[in-house]
Amino acid sequence: AQKVTQAQTEISVVEKEDVTLDCVYETRDTTYYLFWYKQPPSGELVFLIRRNSFDEQNEISGRYSWNFQKSTSSFNFTITASQVVDSAVYFCALSEFRNNNDMRFGAGTRLTVKP
């Protein structure tokens, strides 16, 4: 079965610092989808990005960027010039092509950005 590991339980940075959240995944499928979600203190899950396994191109969206490397089974997320509003729990998730009704989440990384 697929597995997602987010080794960083908590990260604390000072505003304007860059921060990278790590995500390592395991899957036997050659086709799969990777996701990042943000969960602010209010509790809802906010979709950030989806990436399929055939698209290793890195993506940048404003202050957010994602580095997908199949060779290391990693899909890391970087926030540039962090802001207090970035404080949240961030989840990485994996969905396999042949079983993509079952999205598996990592344990999450709690990011605290201090002013």
Partner 1 sequence: EPEVTQTPSHQVTQMGQEVILRCVPISNHLYFYWYRQILGQKVEFLVSFYNNEISEKSEIFDDQFSVERPDGSNFTLKIRSTKLEDSAMYFCASSDSGSGGASYNEQFFGPGTRLTVL
User: Would you tell me which residues interact with partner 1 (CB under 8 A)?
Assistant: 33, 37, 43-45, 47, 50, 52, 91, 93, 95, 97-108
CB nearer partner 1, residue 30 or residue 52: 52
Instruction: Measure the CA–CA gap between 62 and 47, rounded to whole angstroms.
Output: 15
CB nearer partner 1, residue 77 or residue 108: 108
CB nearer partner 1, residue 19 or residue 37: 37
